[in-house]
Amino acid sequence: MLLDQLQKSNNRYDTAYSFRYCLALDGYPLMTILIIKLVFVAAIWILGPIIDNVAEPKFKQLAPTVDQPASPEFGQIMNKYLALEITATSLFI
């Protein structure tokens, strides 16, 4: 039935709408905003373990004590950790 509609339709809008309807979940078409939200949620799920298991342990390991100056490696991991946190927070907002 949908294929018949696509073949009969010469209008680009009708074809695009029919294609979006073909990708429907429980009868509701996937809207652009829903797809964007799903991409953001997936990105947050990926960034969470990266921050917790990769960046944060290195950050804690390289953190200087009170009487020591910060090493260049600590500065690099601090910038990386901060960038990951900002990215995850901006995706959440």
Between CA 86 and CA 58 the distance in angstroms is 18
Answer whether 0.75 is exceeded by the pTM: no
Enter the tokens of residue 41.
């949620």
Pick from 50, 28, 30, 43: nearest CA to 92: 43
Between CA 62 and CA 83 the distance in angstroms is 17
User: For residue 18, what are the contacts with CB-CB under 8 A and spacing of at least 6?
Assistant: 2, 5, 6, 9
DSSP label at residue 51? I
Q: Provide mean pLDDT across the span 7-14.
A: 52
Query: Each residue of 43-75: pLDDT tens digit?
Result: 989 988 888 898 888 888 888 888 888 889 998
- Write down the pLDDT at residue 76: 92
Percent of the chain with pLDDT over 90: 12
- Write down the pLDDT at residue 54: 87
